[in-house]
Structure 1
Amino acid sequence: MKIQHQIKQGDSFQVTIKRLGINGEGIGFHKKTIVFVPGSLPKETVLVKASSIAPKFVEADLIKVLKKSKHRILPPCPVYKKCGGCQLQHLAYPEQLIFKNDIVKQALIKYKPNGYQNYLLKPTIGMSEPWHYRNKLQFQIRKDENEKVICGLYESNSHKLVPIDDCLVQDKATTNVINAIVSFLSELKIPIYDEQQNSGIIKTVMVRIGVQTGELQVVFITHSPKLPAKRQLLEKITTQLPDVVSVMQNIQNKKTSQIMGEKTVHLWGKESIEETLNQVTFDLSARAFFQLNPKQTEVLYQQAIQALDPKASDHVIDAYCGVGTIGLALAPFVKEVRGMDIIPSAVEDAKFNAKRLQLTNTFYEAGTAEVLIPEWLQSGFSVDGLIVDPPRTGLDKKLLSCILANPIPKIVYISCNPSTFARDMVELSKKYRVEYLQSVDMFPQTARAEVVAKLTLKNPL
């Protein structure tokens, strides 16, 4: 495709930033050409250097802020500019909350679902303390140029590891554990994975904490089933890290962006840890999905239950149920909750969690929503409400077709990706009315936005 502008890679020029894009980058124009500038803010005039040229837009590096936004603050993290984990530490938190709503608006404007101009978008619910909120840490383990074992995250759009020993959005206990684990791996000379050679053993270490229980789980993600010096490693963990109650190994021998493989081995202690959410206790196995921000998850699920407006006679489906978090919180208010998930261990956790709560009105099955929901409906199961909390890819097309063919009176759509949510609303808005959207900030300091949508059938039978 022919380049439609005069800017060349390496060119320096000034840009006035108009707004923020969906990834938190500043967006401006230079001689009618769109310019994306990470690290810049609206109403700033910045000096930039073109780093990537596309036919209709340019990506540029921020060289200097010539006119500063009144909302710009100094990022407290020393590796903020290198690490790809956060995108908004330079923006004052109240403005981050406004931006999260704007992401939802941008997505709706792009996809234009029916009646989107009139959707009620409530102000984003933020955190009083927007730091140290993540309950799960997944750091890559590598060796630096000096053969020192390091852990951290990749730079944006690269596989260059940024060493991190104090992540400001992670629960402090998880950071303390990963630092100790790195020292153990170094002392015991356990082989570290080499990405270029596709050799070595330790690729990634996951540390998860039950914030309410204080229990910690360590998962070693390895390139092979072998784990040299396993006995010595476990001895160090059990004697020096008393809050760690579970140690697991996950084998991932494929070159893929997926961090975890299919096989998980129990090494020591419990096979899962406990967490309490909305006064409900859950068992979390190594691969089970659980929201990363427990404090805001309680807010999110309270908003979801409120949006569903549950009745004692309701039969509700909890699609993408994970370990049963939202469905089990909902169960006391309805006649029955049915849930499904593609990860069998998560479904087993959900069943166990329901049994421990002595709930007799829940049913969980392993499988995809797009397969199981039609089966349940065809068997005569009558559904009054549906809660969907899909992955970032949004709803499967078959599930969308199923919902439209078998309309359910009320739906609560929890989305972690406003773009795929807005795309799905193009179809859902054909039969559903959007009562309101409630944005909840699950990931402060990042560009990620979460939204709860209350949908009701336009022409109920």
Structure 2
Amino acid sequence: MPKKQPNLPVQKNERLDVTIQDLTHEGAGVAKVDGYPLFVPDTLPGEKADVKVVKTGKNFGFGRLMERHTTSGQRVDPPCPIYHWCGGCQLQHMNQDAQLTLKREQAVNALHKYMNRADIPVHETIGMDEPWAYRNKAQVPVAERDGELIAGFFAKRSHHIVDMDHCLIQGDQNDAAIQVVKNILKRYEIRPYDEASGRGVIRHIVARNGRLSGETMVMLVTNGKELPHKKQIVEAIRREVTGIHSIVQNINTKKTNVIYGEQTEILWGEKYIEERIGNLRFALSPRSFFQVNPVQTEALYEKIREFADLRRTDTVIDAYCGIGSISLFLAEQARKVYGVEVVGDAISDARKNAKLNHISNVEFSVGKAEEVVPWWRAALGIEADVIVVDPPRKGCDEKLLQTMIEMNPDRIVYASCNPATLARDLGILSDGGYDVKEVQPVDMFPQTAHVESVTQLVRR
């Protein structure tokens, strides 16, 4: 018998009839029982449902949908046959207009919660005309089931792999490459890595594709340098994968859920494949970060450039610059752009990309933005008219935020993949003398609960 929690209005394994009132930022329905939130995946606001309580905590619990009594007008039938098991997508059961509304509301709610602001304009989310087959990179874990290699995505809230033959949000060329490589590994009886024992050979299959170039890179992430039948596997991939341009092995021997190890070897072909955004060309190395939706990346970067409102005399700092994609997008309209990124390989790619596009008014440095940017100012006298930040989900380092305030640029453009940390950081910048002018959400990841946004701040 599960231990009862007498202070809670619900108990584990209890069956309840509830009405869904809202959605979480991860797309789960929210029902309230005497004020206690119960999160129920695969439900939508307005739906009445029979729910089983599967987990309870002090402040909220989780429920499993047992039966829907009513159906929302926002509901659609998910086209993916494994949608209800796979954890890759969360919103296929919601129509596209409703998804875009939800993503805008995430930004609105975060601004209200963390800044107590309801007056900041948050525009309608920029969506896609075709919100399927958009991803240019697939990272697929492998496992063994009934003695056979399987490859797919992790089930919701678990490390159990759901075997996949076709993914509707992957680009067609990537999707096909994953299946071909999976079958080749089966043919040569390559043993999948086992998390529990630490044994086995293959950990992940990665496919990356240039949407306009048509070039495909395949990466095999292995649990050591040895790959049985390596020569035959490479030859088979060369013959059978459409558009193959590069075959890479990444070696990761650590007991970790981090995908990549530090060592990467080119088994065949080029070190780079090419992707294009607007008029710019980008060379993508095996582990370099690049946005996975090239169509929406162009929309995002155009909005960043609009909010930067550049003049030919402006100096721009691009913190968290990655492989220099935003820096190069802005360089055409600025006097000088300085980019900083902590990953050395990314900066090498950024410099290569500047040469590839014949752009000379950019300069890239390796290091932590919160350390390099103050040094630029103190040692080199660099002052920025515009600062652009595109940090990871945890948001900007507080030291960098304070440096930005001290540098006192005319404008700050903040690209974010996390509305909560965005709102937190906007609060700090607002207190430091900047007006938050407007927020533009962009649907970079249709069918999932994730949202990207761009915010313009102007010196008060």
Relative to the length of structure 2, the TM-score reads 0.97
Match among 27, 31, 35 for residue 24 of structure 1: 27
Distance 2:205 2:338 in 1: 34
Q: Is the 2:141–2:203 Cα contact (8 Å) retained in structure 1?
A: yes
Give the counterpart letter for 2:185 in structure 1. Answer: L
Q: Is the 1:84–1:154 Cα contact (8 Å) retained in structure 2?
A: yes
- In structure 1, the residue matched to 2:215 is 215
Distance 2:427 2:437 in 1: 15
- In structure 2, the residue matched to 1:417 is 418
Distance 2:105 2:242 in 1: 44
**Secondary structure at the counterpart of residue 125 of structure 2:** strand
Q: Is the 1:318–1:339 Cα contact (8 Å) retained in structure 2?
A: yes
Match among 77, 82, 102 for residue 79 of structure 1: 82
Match among 57, 64, 67 for residue 67 of structure 2: 64
**Secondary structure at the counterpart of residue 245 of structure 2:** strand
Alignment of 1:373-388 (within 5 A): 373-378=373-378, 379-388=380-389
Deviations 1:85-130 (A, max 9, x none): 11100001011000001111221222126xx221000110100110
Give the counterpart letter for 2:208 in structure 1. Answer: R
Match among 104, 109, 113 for residue 101 of structure 1: 104
- In structure 2, the residue matched to 1:443 is 445
Q: Does 1:324 align with 2:355?
A: no
Q: Is the 2:192–2:201 Cα contact (8 Å) retained in structure 1?
A: yes
Distance 1:90 1:356 in 2: 42
Q: Is the 2:149–2:191 Cα contact (8 Å) retained in structure 1?
A: no
Distance 1:423 1:3 in 2: 35
Cα offset, 1:6, TM superposition: 3.2
Report which stretch shifted further, 79-88 or 343-352. Answer: 343-352
Deviations 1:317-348 (A, max 9, x none): 11111111111111110100111112211111
Distance 2:183 2:317 in 1: 46
Alignment of 1:258-337 (within 5 A): 258-337=258-337
Give the counterpart letter for 2:417 in structure 1. Answer: C
**Secondary structure at the counterpart of residue 268 of structure 1:** strand
Q: Is the 2:323–2:346 Cα contact (8 Å) retained in structure 1?
A: yes
- In structure 1, the residue matched to 2:139 is 138
**Secondary structure at the counterpart of residue 333 of structure 1:** coil
Deviations 1:210-233 (A, max 9, x none): 001000001111111222211011
Q: Does 1:92 align with 2:95?
A: yes
Cα offset, 1:3, TM superposition: 5.2
Cα offset, 1:242, TM superposition: 4.3
Distance 1:344 1:109 in 2: 38
Report which stretch shifted further, 250-259 or 122-131. Answer: 250-259
Distance 1:449 1:3 in 2: 38
Give the counterpart letter for 1:33 in structure 2. Answer: Y
Distance 2:268 2:342 in 1: 26
**Secondary structure at the counterpart of residue 447 of structure 2:** coil
Distance 1:252 1:96 in 2: 37
Unaligned runs of 5+ in 1: none
Alignment of 1:163-242 (within 5 A): 163-242=163-242
Distance 1:42 1:184 in 2: 45
- In structure 2, the residue matched to 1:40 is 43
- In structure 2, the residue matched to 1:394 is 395
Q: Does 1:110 align with 2:113?
A: yes
**Secondary structure at the counterpart of residue 224 of structure 2:** coil
Distance 2:148 2:311 in 1: 59
Q: Is the 1:138–1:204 Cα contact (8 Å) retained in structure 2?
A: yes
Give the counterpart letter for 1:285 in structure 2. Answer: S
**Secondary structure at the counterpart of residue 124 of structure 1:** coil
Give the counterpart letter for 1:446 in structure 2. Answer: T
Distance 1:36 1:241 in 2: 42
Aligned residues between the structures: 455
- In structure 1, the residue matched to 2:459 is 457
Give the counterpart letter for 2:394 in structure 1. Answer: T
Give the counterpart letter for 1:205 in structure 2. Answer: I
Distance 1:78 1:112 in 2: 41
Distance 1:167 1:124 in 2: 24
Distance 1:6 1:309 in 2: 53
**Secondary structure at the counterpart of residue 282 of structure 2:** strand
Distance 2:173 2:142 in 1: 18
**Pairwise CA RMSD:** 1.3
Give the counterpart letter for 1:268 in structure 2. Answer: W
- In structure 2, the residue matched to 1:339 is 339
Give the counterpart letter for 1:70 in structure 2. Answer: G
Give the counterpart letter for 1:88 in structure 2. Answer: L
Distance 2:112 2:455 in 1: 16
Give the counterpart letter for 2:229 in structure 1. Answer: A
Q: Is the 1:4–1:56 Cα contact (8 Å) retained in structure 2?
A: no
Cα offset, 1:405, TM superposition: 2.8
**Secondary structure at the counterpart of residue 61 of structure 1:** strand
Report which stretch shifted further, 96-105 or 350-359. Answer: 350-359
Relative to structure 1, the CA distance from residue 242 to residue 444 in structure 2 (aligned partners, 3 Å threshold; closer, same or farther) is: closer
